[in-house]
Structure 1
Amino acid sequence: MSDLISIKGGRDGLRLRLDDSAEWASLTSALEQQLAQNSGFFAGARLILEIGDRAINDEQMAALLGIMQQHGVQLESLGATARESRNAARASGIVARPLPRYSEPAQPIVQHEHEGMLVTRTIRSGQVLRHHGHITLIGDANPGSEIIAGGSVVVWGRLLGLVHAGALGNPNVAVCALELRPTQLRIAEQITRSPDKAKNLGPEIARIEENQIVVEPWEGAKRG
């Protein structure tokens, strides 16, 4: 993982923070590498980009947008302290907002994966729930929905859509649900599809064992 980029979630969505003191070519290379290596997590995402005190021109703004578009990512807004950077964003049709000065350097993505998100609603078809850490959903994930997490996924309800845990590359995570019948189940780079089940088998947990996804009843799962 690069130490030039950090990711964090919040009520306003995913925020990507770039080191404002790094050499520009190194920074854009690190950004492209992060988006490529974690394509399962970032594809289709709408991000808020924070660049701190860095001043960028129209050409550099276009380069950032080009990298993101190449990897299927949309830039929601730009946070920057430099007016030049905010003007470049607005000239590209991107919402820009002032940003407090960075008080500490960016930290690697992996240092934030422990952070969790609690959601209490139904995720309907066409909706995507995405978070860099763990996700706990109290409700159902309907067919056609997607849950993408950097950590584990726990659903207190029916999980019937696509789910991808460990989407930032961590295989030591799990997917749990009261009814685990996703159209596609993915943990890190391992992928499987839910077998047809005549009835709900009760709470189940899925995780990687010996390089493959194993699903078992929650009561019989190994703890620890």
Structure 2
Amino acid sequence: MGKVRPGVTIKGTKDGLLFILNDSCPFSRLLEELKQLLEYNHSSLWNGPDTKVLIKLGKRQITKPEEIALRQLFATKKNLLIQGFESEESSDLLHTSGVQMLAGTVRSGQILTHKGDLLLLGDVNPGGCVQSTGSIFVLGSLRGLAHAGSNGDETALIAASIFKPTQIRITDVISRPPDEWDESEVGMRFAYLINNQIAVDQVQSLSQLRPDMKWKENGRQRL
């Protein structure tokens, strides 16, 4: 009989810990194995300093409830900080559909793809790429490549708290920002398509460009 592969393999990296999940293993078994590791294995790793965790999914595509279940398990160890989920599918971090909020860092060489509008709580490092069929909102630093409206949506936007991308793209229109960004320009900025060109503006102007995105309360629109 062949040797049965473990459901979970842990490796140390220069950035923290890598949890490799066997993509041929039933998800329920993975959860049970992780529970045994985290709750009943009294390793010094679980009680040490804050440690970044990257979870490799193989070819598995997890659902939102499955992601929540994984995060709840890791939350039992306060020093283990999940940075993201990495999938081998098209070399992407995650590939999912619908409007969604994700947390993590897109590192150099990684591609995060999404169907719909994406809210990313984290940074896009130089050499990293975020691609979405809808708009992209980065609550962090955008220092890599961002491609919104990848399926032809000309109303798609790209916004970031720190807006210093190496390249931005909306549909098939590409804009390379200046080599030197004006450091005095603070605050979130966003890019949009106008007259087949990409323009960048302060986020305060967003409600004028896209009145459909105004916050509504008690049936009344508010800026």
> Given the two structures, how large is their TM-score scaled by the length of structure 1?
0.49
Larger radius of gyration, structure 1 or 2?
2
> Given the two structures, how large is their TM-score scaled by the length of structure 2?
0.49
* Structure with larger RCO (C-alpha < 8 A, sep 6+): 1
